Amino acid sequence: SYVLTQPPSVSVAPGKTARITCGGNNIGRKSVHWYQQKPGQAPVLVVYDDSDRPSGIPERFSGSNSGNTATLTISRVEAGDEADYYCQVWDSNNDHYVFGTGTKVTVL
């Protein structure tokens, strides 16, 4: 089955840039979606189809995908961005949906 690997944690100072990676075999050939989850809340879609943003999501959130790594970038990080972030793809080989292991973003 397809596996997506994320770093367990990323720490970033306010106003700086956080980059969260999502590694998978030839992930660049897939569409990657990213979700933000704050404690006690349901996940929220922040980037879809590698780099598109849903309405209401700040431009500070951006995504890219190439080769074996997809990346979610959060620019000008704010305290409110502190959350868990998950990448997700569709595994066409078995028609399953796969989430990454999740990354906890801490704002220093």
Partner 1 sequence: EVQLVESGGGLVQPGGSLRLSCVASGFSVSSYWMHWVRQAPGKGLVWVSRIKSDGSSTTYADSVKGRFTISRDNAKNTLYLQMNSLRAEDTAVYYCARHRPYLDYWGQGALVTVSS
Least Å distance between CB 15 and partner 1? 28
Q: Tokens 């569709």 map to which residue?
A: 90
Least Å distance between CB 47 and partner 1? 9
Least Å distance between CB 36 and partner 1? 11
* CB closer to partner 1 out of 17 and 99: 99
Least Å distance between CB 99 and partner 1? 4
Buried-exposed string 82-108: b where 16+ CB fall within 10 A, e elsewhere? bbbbbbbbeeeeeeeebebebbbbebe
Alpha-carbon gap, residue 10 to 1, rounded angstroms? 26
Nearest to 2 by CA among 94, 64, 70, 85: 94
Residue numbers at the binding site for partner 1 (CB under 8 A): 1, 31, 33, 35, 37, 42-45, 48-49, 54, 84, 86, 88, 90, 94-102
* CB closer to partner 1 out of 13 and 96: 96
Q: How many CA atoms lie within 13 A of 63 on its CB side?
A: 27
* CB closer to partner 1 out of 60 and 104: 104
